[in-house]
């Protein structure tokens, strides 16, 4: 599975999706308390803008060894630390959404270009400084594809638009989600639901 190709294809598909958002939808509902502009702002920040920053910050050693360990890390931090992180993320989403300006797709296209250029300059096994510590590029970048796909689905639903994410990218993210579920102890629950042998609880999430 080519994690680089999946990231690039997800970025291109997300920019295309945002380019088709009707002008009158930006201040409407996005996700939870976020407007659609906030949602796109969060995606721009988490999945694109930070890629050159992280890839340009080498780490001395690996602290987190997989994408699923990255996502399950949130289960290990104190509740007040997690709450503060989420509050900061929400503020950043709104600020970034405003900075995207009148042509968010054009701004995203530039961010995606910078991200893919930065990716071309690093090796798969280079160790970089992620939000949870040192990670290999091949383990960290799929978490950005996860952000693009999951929030791409959110964006498409909020805007009432079809999306065109590649099956290979969706498969990578779905596998990542399943491995994360197993890592936090919910693997059996998810497996039973996926095979028609049970149901997931309301608002169940692995992140």
Q: pLDDT of 182-205, one tens digit each?
A: 999 999 999 999 999 999 999 999
Q: Which band of pLDDT confidence, cut at 50, 70 and 90, is reported for residue 75?
A: confident
- Domain encompassing residue 47: 3-58+77-123+140-173
Residue 7 lies in a domain: yes
pLDDT the model gives residue 137: 98
What CA dihedral angle connects 139, 127, 115 and 27, to 10 degrees?
Answer: 60
Least confident of 1-5, 17-21, 33-37, 179-183: 1-5
Residue 132 lies in a domain: no
Phi, then psi, of 95 in degrees rounded to 5: -65, -45
The C-alpha atoms of residue 6 and residue 148 are separated, in whole angstroms, by: 10
Residue 204 lies in a domain: no
Predicted TM-score of the model (pTM): 0.95
Name the domain count of the chain: 1
Beta carbons of 126 and 137 less than 8 angstroms apart? yes
Mean pLDDT for the chain overall: 95
Residue 119 lies in a domain: yes
Residue 128 lies in a domain: no
Which letter does DSSP use for residue 201 in this model? Answer: P
């Amino acid at each position: 599975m080519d994690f680089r190709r999946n990231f690039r294809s997800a970025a291109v598909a997300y920019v295309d999706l945002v380019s088709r958002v009707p002008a009158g939808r930006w201040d409407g509902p996005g996700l939870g308390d976020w407007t659609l502009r906030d949602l796109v702002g969060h995606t721009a920040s988490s999945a694109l803008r930070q890629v050159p920053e992280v890839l340009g910050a080498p780490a001395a050693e690996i602290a987190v060894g997989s994408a699923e360990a990255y996502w399950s890390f949130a289960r290990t931090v104190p509740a007040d630390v997690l709450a503060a992180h989420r509050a900061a993320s929400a503020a950043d989403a709104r600020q970034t959404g405003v900075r995207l300006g009148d042509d968010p797709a054009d701004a995203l296209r530039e961010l995606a270009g910078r991200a893919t250029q930065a990716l071309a300059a690093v090796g798969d096994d280079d160790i970089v400084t992620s939000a949870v510590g040192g990670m290999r590029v091949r383990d960290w970048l799929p978490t950005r594809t996860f952000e693009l796909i999951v929030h791409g689905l959110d964006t498409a639903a909020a805007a009432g638009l079809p999306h065109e994410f590649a099956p290979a990218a969706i498969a990578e993210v779905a596998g990542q989600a399943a491995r994360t579920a197993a890592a936090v102890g919910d693997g059996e629950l998810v497996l039973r639901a996926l095979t028609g042998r049970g149901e997931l609880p309301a608002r169940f999430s692995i992140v």
